[in-house]
């Protein structure tokens, strides 16, 4: 008996180390690794694993959402949740079991010498225990057992895989589902205001934002940030950034005013829009479908900046997988905004910034360590122009 395992984790260290650990057991073979559930679902088209090991905190879809969606399918694959968040009967651990996880284990420290001795047996046993759940997962979730009792599985067909594709990978909506595309003429005719900065990031963005915000002075222009991150994690993330920065950083609430020296972080699982009242800006928190398979979506933020800020906006797109933000940044560019992209060398993944560059949306490509200086320099020029206009009236 050979148990085929697929690993889903956004940590490159985990993706490198975990297969080596698991394959010390001759009954386990790792058939692949994925950075997030979306990548994993595409991999399932080539080979179906017997067991999936998944982290919880990932950019495009968190592990608990993936677990729920998988267990709603016709023929779910047993999942082991392996995360640093599941300890001491944490809410995440209880939720994972409630959603039908076959095993929930604390992610070990891969950097300690004791790792192999303390964790290898636990990991391998978890995989074998999950494998024994094959065909029984619906029994672990009472609400699902009835819902799918009348569905006949068709082994050897594409039915189960198609169901996984349909349920887990959401349609790739554009920002049109949240707000209309801005009229370029109207956007270009917007009056001057104080500058406002909008930032989008994904994979690798948590550390990139730490460095970027840490380099900003206290009097930097008001800023709004979308970082792809699950619900309930953004508040702690904002608090961490606040401790490490001279600027004030907080998780955005509906109606928050965008002020000098303040950075608002979009809450997980909600879209964030920039709005304008007179010469001031505020944010709107909005529900709605995933846009470019994300919520919050960078495209939504950038489109709102194009519509309401126009030439008063500075856009920054940082490291991240996929193309979220590239279309919205092009709309900002067409509305007169000044846009900056992180360069490939300093990006963990040059997906989002690379796509924005390809779209012709970017005015300057810079290494991470130069972006804060460029933002502040450009913002000072824009502020001087605004102050000049004010004195003329």
Q: Is 173 a catalytic residue?
A: no
Residue 388 has pLDDT above 90, yes or no: no
pLDDT in tens, 26-49: 999 999 999 999 999 989 888 999
> How many angstroms separate the CA atoms of 101 and 70, rounded?
10
Domain spanning 175-391: CATH superfamily: Methylesterase CheB, C-terminal domain (3.40.50.180)
> How many angstroms separate the CA atoms of 99 and 78, rounded?
12
pLDDT in tens, 68-108: 999 888 789 999 999 988 877 788 888 888 888 988 998 87
| Residue 91, both tokens | 């809410």
| Class of domain 3-168 (CATH, top level) | alpha beta
Neighbours of 311 (CB within 10 A): 19
pLDDT in tens, 109-139: 766 555 555 678 889 989 998 898 887 665 5
Residue 160 has pLDDT above 70, yes or no: no
> How many angstroms separate the CA atoms of 202 and 123, rounded?
29
For the chain, give every residue range classified as CATH 3.40.50.2300: 3-168
Q: Is 228 a catalytic residue?
A: yes
Q: Which residue in 9, 75, 119, 228 is the catalytic one?
A: 228
| Residue 319, both tokens | 């490291």
- The candidate with the shortest Cα–Cα distance to 5, out of 84, 86, 78, is 78
> How many angstroms separate the CA atoms of 341 and 253, rounded?
27
Q: What angle do CA 179, 292, 76 make, to 5 degrees?
A: 130
For the chain, give every residue range classified as CATH 3.40.50.180: 175-391
Helix (H) or strand (E) holding 41, with range, is helix 37-43
Q: Phi and psi of 325, rounded to 5°?
A: 100, -20
| Residue 70, both tokens | 């998988």
Q: Which residue in 10, 62, 323, 324 is the catalytic one?
A: 324
Q: Are 201 and 225 in contact (CB under 8 A)?
A: yes
**DSSP secondary structure letter of residue 78:** P
Q: Is 202 a catalytic residue?
A: yes
pLDDT in tens, 282-312: 999 999 988 987 899 999 999 999 999 999 9
Q: Which residue in 83, 119, 202, 326 is the catalytic one?
A: 202
């Amino acid at each position: 008996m050979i148990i085929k395992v697929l690993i889903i984790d956004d940590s490159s260290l985990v993706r490198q180390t975990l297969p080596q650990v698991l394959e010390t057991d001759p009954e386990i073979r790792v058939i692949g690794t994925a950075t997030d559930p979306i990548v994993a679902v595409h991999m399932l088209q080539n080979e179906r694993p017997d067991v999936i090991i998944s982290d919880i905190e990932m950019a495009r879809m968190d592990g608990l959402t993936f677990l729920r969606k998988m267990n709603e399918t016709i023929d779910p694959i047993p999942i082991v949740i392996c995360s640093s968040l599941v300890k001491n009967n944490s809410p995440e651990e209880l939720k994972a079991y409630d959603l039908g996880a076959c095993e929930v284990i604390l992610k070990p420290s891969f950097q300690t010498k004791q790792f192999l001795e303390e964790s290898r047996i636990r990991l391998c046993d978890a995989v074998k225990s999950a494998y024994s759940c094959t065909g029984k997962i619906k029994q672990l979730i009472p609400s699902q057992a009835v819902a799918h009792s009348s569905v006949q599985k068709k082994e050897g067909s594409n039915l189960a895989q198609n169901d996984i594709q349909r349920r887990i990978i959401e349609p790739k909506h554009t920002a049109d589902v949240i707000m209309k595309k801005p009229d370029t003429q109207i956007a270009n005719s917007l009056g001057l205001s104080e500058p406002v900065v909008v930032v989008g990031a994904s994979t690798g963005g948590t550390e990139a934002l730490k460095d970027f915000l840490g380099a900003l002075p206290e009097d930097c222009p008001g800023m709004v940030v979308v970082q792809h991150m699950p619900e309930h994690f953004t508040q702690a993330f904002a608090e961490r950034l606040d401790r490490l920065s001279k600027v004030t950083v907080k998780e955005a609430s509906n109606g928050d005013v965008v002020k000098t020296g303040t950075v608002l972080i979009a809450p997980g699982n909600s879209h964030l829009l920039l709005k304008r009242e007179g010469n001031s800006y505020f944010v709107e928190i909005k529900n709605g479908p995933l846009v470019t398979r994300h919520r919050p979506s960078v495209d939504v933020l950038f489109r709102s900046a194009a519509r309401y800020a126009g030439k008063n906006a500075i856009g920054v797109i940082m490291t991240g997988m996929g193309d979220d933000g590239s279309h919205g940044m092009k709309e900002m560019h067409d509305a007169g905004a000044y846009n900056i992209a992180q360069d490939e060398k300093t990006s963990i993944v040059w997906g989002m910034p690379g796509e924005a560059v390809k779209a012709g949306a970017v005015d300057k490509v810079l290494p991470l360590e130069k972006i804060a200086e460029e933002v502040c320099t450009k913002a000072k020029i824009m502020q001087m122009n605004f102050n000049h206009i004010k004195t003329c009236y």
